[in-house]
């Protein structure tokens, strides 16, 4: 026997020669598997697999298992139990499998003909054909069969453009007539300036298994931004698992389909993979399917990733990866079965890399022969999979082709008669009590609480169990909070938030929050989770507010913005009763999640008519900490604001923050809420509130100035600068200047601001003042509103000079700038 590398003899029992050979193929066999229908991925030579002599027969046996149409990567898994499970499945002599060739043929014909009918009828329209990967349909069939057998009632699917319409028809079970109506683009007036293209729309439906079990399918609405839907699918799954007490995480299954180029290239996918198994984000394992056509638009694999497989980014994690040749339906079904069973057995992610080709150009209107002429010469001569499969299995496809053609023709005729734009999905019942659309005054709710109630909540929030030893600083903090809650001391932001959360939990509103270091709070302000200094046991006072309170989850997130925000957005989509919050460490880090903000939070309702009450907490304020820790980029959110799509607020004191959080949870109007939160003002007396402020009716969009009735000038501002201005006013003994806070920037509180102006009848000048440079902040947005509200009173603004970065890197330069701002504000 000659094996080029000797195995370490760590086991007590010497492995047999056969075992040694098999071990090599288990580890490296996938490199020589026959995975590509067009033979482009030639086997990669591997010296350890060059086995001759006596062991050659074992090698032949192992090669038949590990180098066929399935390439399994699992030897990187550290858990021996899992490796053995996979090995045993791979090496079974007669894989237990009920393949029904007739059904497979029918599924293949159905998916391929659907594409051909569209190609023939709607030439030149984008559809992102599945042809070349039609094996996806039997693959998903098998996954859903296994899922149903494990008690799954619903699969949440995320996928991009490729094959989406095909999946809607053949897996989600939508009527082909509706899809054809989409191609007719009926009823354009219903979506002027809104709506979305047909291959991004969400779809709900039902999949029927062979023995009649039903699995609901939710295909999640998806923006063009590849992979950005990944965390959203997981958040939605987790929300359903939580609301339906799916402790084993088997009733709700996430399935994510990816393009090969996107899987290899998009960072948000890697961020999402990192969430698996973490207490905050666990969903019991996701099935990932790479619809691998070995091309991305016009780009070839060797330009898309430095490794042999697009899936290699997943190999960093202890999860198995199955590559499978998309032209071997039996192998596809075997892989689908193994992968799905593995997910249920180990609550783990699994990757299936379905390797085929793309029959047409990227969107059918593209001509792929310009960039890949040789490849497309081969593809043009390559028959459709159903033909290959029928021949191999000696089946006559003619009758099924005739039947499906007739069905599709009929659907097409029906599609032409549809007058109203079809919606492919319906909202679950739990959305019935909530609304989107434009703001209406009747949505206002009382958010204040009486002092006795605040006292009772404080009691629960500031008490630890007798055997719990808090850190001395925490002991003091709890004592301080107890004084705040009893009215003996002004209440700061940290306590205001705790009171908002505590009162909501008591009222039955669940809370879910995640963000970097959110349990303690970046600024040492939250302390939602207390740690026993003796044994590091956790105690969460918010979980002990009352006996029948709602569920409270507060987590430290991974160091991700995009995936974590996407996840929390998803959660908010399926648990509208919950106050769902994501916190950025500093506000500007949210730009790492810009896709989620633009494509989901801001535009989700306009595109898909889907609502969300997600809260973004974005620390903001100019404190001399440098270009990156100062601005949460208020301007960006204001630019996104239209059609009452979200609320953008900067509460100027603790009580305002309390009322705002409670308003968000208690009003039935479900809109994302962007909150610019303080840093230096967190414990500042000027931004603290009396207990009385918590008992008043509700959040004030405009915080009035009660001190300056005779003022001739009015400074309007938002956030920290207002407190600095009020201090300066006191120091200057200025009686001419009123200082008013705009605590809600959007929807713009026109009426409230007009009322405040009316209370200062002598004002002859209105100045918007902001800390941000002229090309940032709110002034470009506020000024037109101000001019409208101010009528004939002149309006101007004071701000830093336009700057390419938000703030200076020097604390001293900051001080100088800030002084200048304040001086200018008072005109001297
Ligand atoms: C984030 C992002 N960048 C770029 C694009 C433009 N784009 C659309 S499809 C595509 C190629 C995708 O290739 P792949 O992931 O392999 O999927 P395929 O279309 O081949 O199925 C690109 C670059 C996009 N939609 N999203």
Atom of ligand 1 minimally distant from the CA of 266:
1
Tell me which of 261, 292, 375 to substitute to probe ligand 1's pocket, judged by most ligand atoms within 8 Å of the beta carbon. Answer: 261
Ligand 1 atom with the shortest distance to the CA of 228: 1
The single-letter DSSP state of residue 602 is I
Ligand 1 centroid, distance to 336 Cα (angstroms): 25
Q: Is the CB of 599 under 6 A from ligand 1?
A: no
Band of pLDDT at residue 189, cut at 50, 70 and 90: confident
Indicate the pLDDT class of residue 761, thresholds 50, 70 and 90: very high
The finding on whether 297 has its CB within 6 A of some atom of ligand 1 is yes
pLDDT tens by residue, 508-533:
999 999 999 999 999 999 999 999 99
User: Which atom of ligand 1 lies nearest, measured to the CA of 292?
Assistant: 16
- The three-class DSSP label of residue 502 is helix
Among protein residues, the one with the nearest Cα to ligand 1's atom 17 is 259
Whether ligand 1 lies within 6 angstroms of the CB of 384 is answered as no
Ligand 1 mean position to 198 CA, how many Å? 17
Name the closest-CA residue to atom 10, ligand 1: 297
pLDDT in tens, 542-573: 999 999 999 999 999 999 999 999 999 999 99
How high is the pLDDT of residue 176? 93
Give the pLDDT confidence score for residue 1 in this predicted structure.
42
Q: Which residue has the tokens 């106050």?
A: 579
Q: How confident is the model at residue 729 (pLDDT cuts 50, 70, 90)?
A: very high
Task: Give the Cα separation of 601 and 263 in Å (integer).
Answer: 23
Contacts of 828 (CB under 8 A, 6+ apart): none
- Give the pLDDT mean for 342-356: 98
Q: List the structure tokens of 606.
A: 């306009």
Asked if residue 570 has its Cβ within 6 Å of ligand 1, the reply is: no
Nearest CA to ligand 1 atom 9: 297
Mutational test site, ligand 1, from 161, 297, 359, max ligand atoms within 8 Å of CB: 297
Q: What is the mean pLDDT of residues 251-264?
A: 98
CA distance 228 to 599: 9
* Residue 635, SS3 per DSSP: helix
pLDDT band at 198 (very low <50, low <70, confident <90, very high): confident
pLDDT computed for residue 2 by the predictor: 45
Any atom of ligand 1 within 6 Å of the Cβ of 293: yes
Whether residue 241 contacts residue 279, with contact meaning beta carbons closer than 8 Å, is answered with: no
Q: Please work out whether the CB of residue 72 comes within 6 Å of at least one atom of ligand 1.
A: no
Sign of dihedral through CA atoms 412, 417, 419, 425? negative
* Concatenated DSSP letters of 102-135: HHHHHHHHHHHHHHHHHHHHSTTS-----TT-TT
Give the pLDDT band of residue 607 (cuts 50, 70, 90).
very high
Q: Which of 134, 262, 298 to mutate to test the pocket of ligand 1 (most atoms within 8 A of CB)?
A: 262
For the chain, state the CA radius of gyration. Answer: 31
Report pTM.
Answer: 0.96
Percent of the chain with pLDDT over 90: 89
Chain-centroid distance, C-alpha 207: 25
Tell whether the model's pLDDT for residue 505 goes beyond 90. Answer: yes
- The finding on whether 259 has its CB within 6 A of some atom of ligand 1 is yes
**Whether residue 296 has its Cβ less than 6 Å from ligand 1:** yes
pLDDT digits (tens, 9 = 90+) for 762-803: 999 999 999 999 999 999 999 999 999 998 999 999 999 999
Residue 96 pLDDT:
56
Residue 649, beta-bridge partner list: 675, 744
How far does the centroid of ligand 1 lie from the alpha carbon of residue 295, in Å? 10
């Amino acid at each position: 026997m000659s094996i080029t590398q000797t195995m370490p003899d760590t086991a007590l029992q010497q492995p047999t020669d056969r075992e040694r050979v098999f071990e090599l193929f288990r580890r490296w066999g996938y490199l020589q598997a026959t995975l590509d229908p067009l033979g482009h991925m030639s086997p990669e030579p591997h010296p350890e697999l060059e086995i001759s002599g006596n062991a050659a027969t074992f090698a032949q046996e192992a090669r038949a298992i590990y180098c066929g149409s399935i390439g399994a990567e699992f030897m990187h898994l550290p858990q021996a139990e899992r490796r053995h499970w996979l090995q045993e499945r791979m090496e079974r002599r007669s894989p237990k499998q009920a393949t029904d060739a007739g059904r497979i043929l029918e599924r293949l014909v159905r998916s391929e003909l659907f594409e051909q009918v569209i190609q023939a009828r709607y030439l030149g329209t984008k559809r992102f054909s599945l042809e070349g990967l039609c094996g996806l349909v039997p693959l998903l069939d098998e996954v859903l069969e296994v899922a149903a057998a494990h008690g799954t009632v619903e699969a949440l699917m995320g996928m991009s453009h490729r094959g989406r319409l095909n999946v809607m028809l053949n897996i989600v079970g939508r009527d082909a007539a509706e899809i054809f109506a989409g191609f007719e683009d009926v009823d354009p007036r219903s979506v002027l300036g809104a709506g979305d293209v047909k291959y991004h729309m969400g779809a709900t439906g039902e999949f029927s298994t062979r023995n009649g079990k039903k699995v609901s399918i939710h295909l999640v609405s998806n923006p063009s931004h590849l992979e950005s839907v990944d965390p959203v699918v997981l958040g939605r799954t987790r929300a359903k698992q939580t609301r339906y007490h799916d402790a084993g995480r088997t009733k709700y299954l996430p399935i994510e389909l990816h393009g090969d180029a996107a899987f290899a290239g998009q960072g948000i996918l890697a961020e999402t993979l990192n969430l698996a198994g973490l207490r905050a984000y666990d969903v019991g394992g996701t099935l990932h399917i790479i619809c691998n056509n070995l091309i991305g638009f016009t780009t070839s694999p060797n330009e898309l990733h430095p490794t042999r497989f697009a899936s290699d980014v997943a190999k960093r994690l202890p999860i198995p990866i199955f590559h499978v040749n998309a032209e071997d339906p039996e192998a596809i079904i075997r892989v689908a079965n193994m992968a799905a069973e593995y997910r249920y057995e180990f609550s783990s992610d699994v990757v299936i890399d379905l390797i085929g080709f793309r029959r047409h150009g990227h969107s059918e209107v593209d001509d792929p022969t310009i960039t890949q002429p040789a490849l497309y010469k081969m593809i043009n001569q390559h028959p459709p999979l159903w033909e290959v499969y029928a021949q191999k299995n000696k089946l006559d496809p003619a009758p099924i082709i005739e039947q499906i053609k007739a069905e599709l023709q009929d659907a097409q005729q029906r599609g032409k008669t549809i007058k109203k734009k079809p919606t492919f999905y319906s909202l679950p019942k739990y959305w019935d009590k909530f609304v989107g659309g434009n703001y209406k005054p009747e949505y206002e709710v009382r958010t204040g609480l009486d002092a006795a109630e605040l006292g009772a909540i404080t009691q629960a929030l500031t008490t630890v169990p007798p055997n719990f030893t808090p850190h001395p600083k925490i002991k003091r903090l709890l004592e301080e909070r107890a004084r705040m809650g009893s009215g003996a001391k002004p209440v700061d932001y940290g306590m205001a938030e705790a009171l908002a959360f505590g009162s909501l939990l008591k009222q039955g509103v669940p809370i879910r929050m995640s963000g970097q270091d959110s349990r303690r709070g970046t600024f040492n302000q939250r302390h939602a989770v207390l740690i026993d200094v003796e044994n590091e046991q956790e105690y969460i006072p918010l979980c002990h507010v009352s006996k029948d309170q709602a569920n409270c989850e507060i987590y430290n997130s991974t160091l991700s913005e995009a995936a974590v925000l996407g996840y929390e957005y998803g959660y908010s989509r399926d648990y509208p009763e919950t106050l769902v919050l994501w916190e950025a460490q500093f506000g500007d880090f949210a730009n790492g999640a810009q896709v989620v903000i633009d494509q989901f939070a801001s535009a989700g309702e306009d595109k898909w008519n889907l609502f969300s009450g997600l809260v973004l907490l974005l620390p903001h304020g100019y404190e001399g900490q440098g270009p990156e820790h100062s601005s949460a980029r208020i301007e960006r959110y204001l630019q996104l604001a239209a059609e009452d799509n979200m609320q953008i607020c900067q509460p100027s004191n603790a009580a305002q923050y309390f009322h705002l959080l409670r308003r968000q949870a208690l009003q039935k109007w479900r809109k994302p809420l962007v909150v610019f939160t303080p840093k230096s003002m967190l414990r500042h007396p000027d931004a603290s509130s009396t207990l009385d402020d918590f008992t008043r009716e509700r959040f004030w969009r405009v915080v009035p100035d009660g001190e300056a009735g005779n003022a001739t000038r009015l400074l309007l501002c938002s956030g920290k600068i207002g407190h600095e201005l009020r201090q300066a006013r006191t120091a200057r003994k200025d009686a001419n200047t009123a200082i008013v806070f705009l605590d809600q920037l959007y929807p713009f509180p026109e009426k409230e601001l007009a009322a405040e102006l009316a209370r200062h009848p002598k004002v002859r000048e209105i100045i918007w003042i902001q800390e941000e440079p002229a090309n940032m902040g709110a002034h470009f947005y506020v000024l037109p509103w101000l001019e409208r509200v101010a009528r004939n009173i002149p309006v101007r603004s004071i701000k830093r000079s336009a700057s390419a970065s938000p703030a200076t890197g020097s604390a001293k330069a900051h001080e100088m700038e800030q002084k200048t701002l304040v001086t200018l504000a008072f005109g001297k």
